[in-house]
Structure 1
């Protein structure tokens, strides 16, 4: 297996997950800043590994598999930390929507790959917007404190709600794109109909 720079960045992002957890629970005043920094840095590496892969044609099957796994692990871990720290019904709902959609879309992509039609569920523009809003929201929620009177946490809460709604929208778009293939597969002999 050839180790490319994007794959190394992806592995580094996975390695940051336990660092995020440890930093989040340290008993110091600056830990909120450190946790937000770790998550923001991981988000930047997500963008950077994709840019390097496209710019320098450093693609690999392992990297293509690992990149979305790293993203989902980092986001899910951060959301669990935030919900544990601020256990409100809305925070739990938005986190459940985001994590649930990620699981559902991953399963959908795997199914479409088995049908040889993974390209039909490629990342769409609404998915990219969702990712940006989600990353900013989680960073603000990890930071928690006000910044020069700006209610960072409240802004993060609203952005997480927007990210959850965009998550549902993008999930619907993926399902709509895949539906003809899924429907055709379901009516084949020997395949259970829904």
Structure 2
């Protein structure tokens, strides 16, 4: 078990702690849940860095790392939808989660065809992930009622993340389109 894989597993193990802290009936649950989420986001960056720098890339890590990312982001968005129970929040949350489902299915299908490299992670995908993490940390850190300016900044950042999410999905689908259409003719 490499250090990179241990960091990824640690990120997954943080999810139940994150959920429990989020629901604690204390004012500090907001900033502390944001810190736990931020720690998970940092380990996401750090496990990739460790895997590349120390040549610790493994098939298990390649599988588990994106799963851990999606689990943490989906868990945070589900929790935040409960606090921000409105269409303005639900729309970007659905876009982000829906895109992850579409791209995961696309990558799986392309891998079956031996074309996984056609839908490899792009630079825009990394920017999208960063914006998602920033938006979620802002929205977790402050009670929506207590900090309206931070709430507005969180929404703005979340909408930027949702826009980048759609853009990256279009890029992935565009890259895969010739292969999708070629195999549909058989």
- TM superposition score category, shorter chain reference: over 0.9
What's the counterpart of residue 111 of structure 1? 109
Contact 1:94 1:160 survives alignment (8 Å)? yes
Give distance in 1, aligned partners of 2:28 and 2:115: 47
Give distance in 1, aligned partners of 2:132 and 2:32: 19
Alignment of 1:1-194 (within 5 A): 3-145=1-143, 151-188=149-186
Give the TM-score, by structure 2 length.
0.96
Contact 1:78 1:138 survives alignment (8 Å)? yes
Between the two proteins, the alignment pairs up a number of residues equal to: 184
Q: Which runs of 4+ in 1 moved over 2 A?
A: none
Alpha-carbon distance, 1:59 to partner: 0.9
Report the aligned-residue RMSD: 1.2
Q: Which has the larger Rg?
A: 1
Alpha-carbon distance, 1:141 to partner: 0.3
Unpaired runs of 5+ residues, structure 2, are none
Contact 1:10 1:70 survives alignment (8 Å)? yes
Contact 1:140 1:153 survives alignment (8 Å)? yes
Unpaired runs of 5+ residues, structure 1, are 189-194
Secondary structure of the structure 2 residue equivalent to 1:151: helix
Contact 1:101 1:168 survives alignment (8 Å)? yes
Contact 1:145 1:151 survives alignment (8 Å)? no
